[in-house]
Chains A and B, each alone.
Chain A
Amino acid sequence: GENVEQHPSTLSVQEGDSAVIKCTYSDSASNYFPWYKQELGKGPQLIIDIRSNVGEKKDQRIAVTLNKTAKHFSLHITETQPEDSAVYFCAPTDSWGKLQFGAGTQVVVTP
């Protein structure tokens, strides 16, 4: 089955700094690569995604980069704000639409 590793497990950044989270996967059949954000007491929510035919995608302060050859993709958050504090999950997805979540990264943005 799919092996998904996410690093780091916790990330503390000062407000205004950048945060980068890396996700490594093993299933070469994965072709869709979303990142989800989960706040306390809520279900995960999609923040950005990328498909296998694209190397990078950006949406305001958030970007995702994909290296399909190396089987990893990364989440980049610039100009972090306190509301970015949450747990972030990568979820590489196969062609059947089955997501396998990473263990998560707890991001803490300190003012």
Chain B
Amino acid sequence: DTGVSQNPRHKITKRGQNVTFRCDPISEHNRLYWYRQTLGQGPEFLTYFQNEAQLEKSRLLSDRFSAERPKGSFSTLEIQRTEQGDSAMYLCAGTQGLKGTGELFFGEGSRLTVL
């Protein structure tokens, strides 16, 4: 158990609907990452936070994706107007330290299926 929890674990939605995922890291994790993983592929970087500040957002991410980390604790990832191509596992990870070159502790992911 990494201490990083993600909810919901599974989400099935219809195309065009909005979905929101939540990640709760442990309190020591001042860095928080979001990755997306499709079947048979490695996790793809989406965005990351240092406390409440969003440091970078992947250029591959459309404007339909937005992430927040108010107060530097939990984080949410929202996808608006979902498309079938958004179907994937969304992984959250936390770590300590300012530079982030250390172990990332991943949650078990939130699986999204867009019909």
Which A residues fall within an 8 A CB radius of B? 1, 4, 6, 31-32, 34, 41-46, 49, 51, 89, 91, 93, 95-104
Contacts and interface: CB of A to CB of B under 8 A. Distances in A.
A45 B44 contact: no
Contacts of A45: 2, 106
Interface residues of B, number: 28
Given A43-B2, A43-B93, A43-B108, A98 B42 contact: no
Given A31-B101, A34-B103, A101 B108 contact: no
Chain A interface, DSSP helix/strand/loop, else mixed: loop
B101 A93 contact: yes
9 contacts: A43-B4, A43-B91, A43-B107, A89-B43, A93-B100, A93-B101, A96-B100, A101-B35, A104-B40
Nearest to B55: A96
A103 B43 CA distance: 8
A85 B84 CA distance: 31
A99 B31 CA distance: 13
A43 B106 CA distance: 5
B109 interface: yes
Contacts of B99: 95-97
Contacts of A95: 99, 101
CB-CB nearest 7 A-B residue pairs? A97-B100, A43-B106, A101-B42, A32-B101, A46-B103, A101-B43, A104-B42
Contact of A101 (B2, B44, B59, B102): B44
A1 B33 CA distance: 18
Contacts of A89: 42-43
